[in-house]
Amino acid sequence: MNSRIPVLIVGGGPVGLALAVELGWRGVACLLVEQTDGTITTPKMNEVNVRTMEFCRRWGIANAVQNCPFPADYPLDAVFVTTLAGYELGRVPRPARSTAQPDPFSPMRFQVCSQTWFDPILQNFARSLPTVELRYRHRLERFEQSLNGVTADIVDLTTGTHQRIEAAYLVGCDGANSAVRAALGIELAGTGTISHPAHMFFRTPNLLERFDRAPGTFFFPVGHGGVWGNLRVIDPVTGVWRLMVDEVGSAATPESIDKMSYVRRAVGRDIEVEWLGLSIWHRRSLVAERYSRGRIFLAGDAVHQLSPTGALGMNSGIGDAVDLGWKLAATLEGWGGAGLLDTYDTERRPIGVRNVKMATGFYLNIEGFGEVDGEIEHDNAAGERLRRELGERLVRNIGPEFRTIGLQIGYRYDGSPICIPDGTAAPPDTAETYTPSARPGARAPHVWLRDGRSILDLFGRGFVFLQFADDEQASGLAAAAAGQSIPLTIERLDEPEALRLYERRFVLVRPDGHVAWRSNSIIAEPTNLIDRVRGAAGIGEA
Ligand SMILES: Cc1cc2nc3c(=O)[nH]c(=O)nc-3n(C[C@H](O)[C@H](O)[C@H](O)COP(=O)(O)OP(=O)(O)OC[C@H]3O[C@@H](n4cnc5c(N)ncnc54)[C@H](O)[C@@H]3O)c2cc1C
């Protein structure tokens, strides 16, 4: 049996699903094959960051994510304790979504939504898109590419039937042990494995109430050896928890781990739990040396493997999917230039390097916290002083991984050949702070419009030309775009606040919501500009 499809996606984790959604939302036909049945038994990801929530808003599924079973009024604090039953040392406040102040930088808030809920939301939305086909229990066995396309052999794991698929492009979203990456001979570079953690999932309702502990999502038990893991609530309603032990040793097996002793160590006494699962994994710090070869692309954990500290794994991968999605659509629709798909690597690989570095740094803050001297459990004035000082140090050193708005929305495609620099200096790229910027390469910043929409709601389908001035600037550009069949919308805005933020009277925003170009003056050569931003090779400065 043979069939031809524009894009074959290998892997139905959150990144493969996000790519299917992005392509389907753009009307591009794609087939996703996933070797499992799609059920998540031991969820890894829990924190959907602000940028991913902005993409969910664009796709129309933000409400579904916000309405997941994680209660909107549950405080998201990270808490340092001696044990759950012992002393509280310090607390990083993260208010519940329903009580948090509106964020000035985004229409969306970061959202706790376990993969158990998030992946099915993506699956259901993908299934609702007429050009997307999801095939579970199907595995990619091998593939080869030519100048014109990719041939892939897929096996149906239920029936054992083999099928040959002809595709224009293949995207490997097949996770950390990506066979697609290995077959392409693409190496990973970086520190490699930095620890051997174990996850233990269990159910025990009302755990915090038993110890009169104020709610939070993360509880870090701190002993004399320092910080050794964390207890994270997955579902406060049904009492599902995950205990992560940061280092169980490279030889550990699920059978060799004494789960109950770790629970006792974290909680401070024996409790009854219903065990739901255990997995041992490698905490890595690695980025692929390239993100594509020919007609084959890689995204997500296949190209960046990072510590979960900072919640950047899936969120980085979804950023990959969005960047690649519009470029594949543009190329398949014929308006993407010959160099457009190459910019996927140029733009996303530096973000992978940045995020892996940050995530590793957050983990090293934990690992390097060091031993804790003194009698932190003593119920006297000296013990109290030690606990206060220790708590302050913990919040100062480890707290930053929970304040990452700059990391989440401040990434930029500096130096991209399809963004035209305007000579302004780059704002600082720091994890904790975000400096709104409409400099080319940056995510177009959020501002509320007078009609109640976010300016981000204007972006997504095609290019958007923002015109904060009433003149004929747009007509030449519209004609140049039409000449190349480029989807372009002109938005004339009488919005002083937006003009102040965007700093130029004319701004061109790409389909992924990043600024491509901005200026106060008339576009002398609109065709040059259009060719540049669509990745038509060899075009000079616009
Ligand atoms: C403890 C922990 C907590 C985390 N918390 C967060 C968080 O809060 N936020 C966050 O953003 N990230 C988090 N992450 C990271 C996040 O889980 C991963 O980055 C994310 O799951 C990667 O998604 P992916 O789709 O690239 O890969 P995966 O989720 O690994 O999916 C790859 C899929 O490909 C399939 N596959 C592989 N080979 C084939 C084949 N040949 N044919 C068909 N299918 C194939 C696999 O079955 C799998 O389903 C966390 C990770 C851990 C370990």
pLDDT tens, per residue, the chain with 542 residues? 456 899 999 999 999 999 999 999 999 999 999 999 999 988 999 999 999 999 999 999 999 999 999 999 999 999 999 999 999 999 999 999 888 887 899 999 999 999 999 999 999 999 999 999 999 999 999 999 999 999 999 999 999 999 999 999 999 999 999 999 999 999 999 999 999 999 999 999 999 999 999 999 999 999 888 999 999 999 999 999 999 999 999 999 999 999 999 999 999 999 999 999 999 999 999 999 999 999 999 999 999 999 999 999 999 999 999 999 999 999 999 999 999 999 999 999 999 999 999 999 999 999 988 888 778 889 999 999 999 999 999 999 999 999 999 999 999 999 999 999 999 999 999 999 999 999 999 999 999 999 999 999 999 999 999 999 877 668 888 999 999 899 999 999 999 999 999 999 999 999 999 999 999 987 888 999 999 999 995 544 33
Question: Pocket of ligand 1, candidates 314, 363, 366: which has the most ligand atoms within 8 Å of its Cβ, to mutate?
Answer: 314
Residues 6+ apart with CB under 8 A from 78: 91, 92, 94, 216, 217, 218, 220, 398, 399, 402
In the structure encoding, which two tokens stand for residue 52, read together? 């991913």
Residue 314 C-alpha to ligand 1 middle, in angstroms? Answer: 7
Element (H, E) at 164: strand 162-172
The verdict on the CB of residue 216 being under 6 Å from ligand 1 is: no
Closest ligand 1 atom to 176 CA: 30
Tokens of 390: 């220790």
Nearest CA to ligand 1 atom 35: 11
* Ligand 1 centroid, distance to 433 Cα (angstroms): 28
What whole-number distance in Å separates Cα of residue 363 and Cα of residue 371?
Answer: 16
Per-residue burial over 45-55, b if 16 or more Cβ lie within 10 Å, else e, is: bbbbbbbbbbb
Question: Please, which residues have CB within 8 angstroms of residue 449's CB and are 6 or more apart in sequence?
Answer: 455, 493, 495, 498
State the amino acid at position 413 in one-letter form. Y
> Given ligand 1 and candidates 174, 296, 407, which is best to mutate, with the most ligand atoms within 8 Å of its CB?
174
> Which residue is associated with the tokens 């094959």?
33
- d(CA 126, CA 460) in angstroms, rounded, equals 17
Strand partners, 153: 142, 164
* DSSP letter assigned to residue 239: T
Q: How far apart are CA 217 and CA 94, in angstroms?
A: 9
Closest C-alpha among 280, 282, 310, 304 to residue 193: 282
What are the helix (H) ranges across 185-312?
207-210, 259-267
> Is any ligand 1 atom within 6 A of the Cβ of residue 45?
yes
Q: How far apart, in whole angstroms, are the C-alpha atoms of residue 540 and residue 520?
A: 20
pTM above 0.75, yes or no: yes
Nearest CA to ligand 1 atom 15: 313
Give the three-state DSSP class for 489: strand
Q: How far is the CA of 173 from the centre of ligand 1 (A)?
A: 9
CA gap 350, 163 in Å, rounded:
37
For residue 14, report the distance from its CA to the centre of ligand 1, in Å.
7
Q: Choose among 35, 76, 56: nearest CA to 118.
A: 56
Contact assessment for residue 391 and residue 227, using Cβ atoms and an 8 Å cutoff: no
Contact 141/153 with Cβ under 8 angstroms? Answer: yes
Q: Verify whether ligand 1 is closer than 6 Å to residue 448 (CB atom).
A: no
Q: What's the pLDDT at 537?
A: 57
Give the span between the Cα atoms of 209 and 239, in whole angstroms.
Answer: 11
Total residues found in the chain within this entry: 542
Collapse the DSSP code of 425 into the 3-class scheme (helix H, G, I; strand E, B; otherwise coil) and give the result.
coil
d(CA 427, CA 435): 6
Which residues 6+ apart lie within 8 Å of 500 measured at CB? none
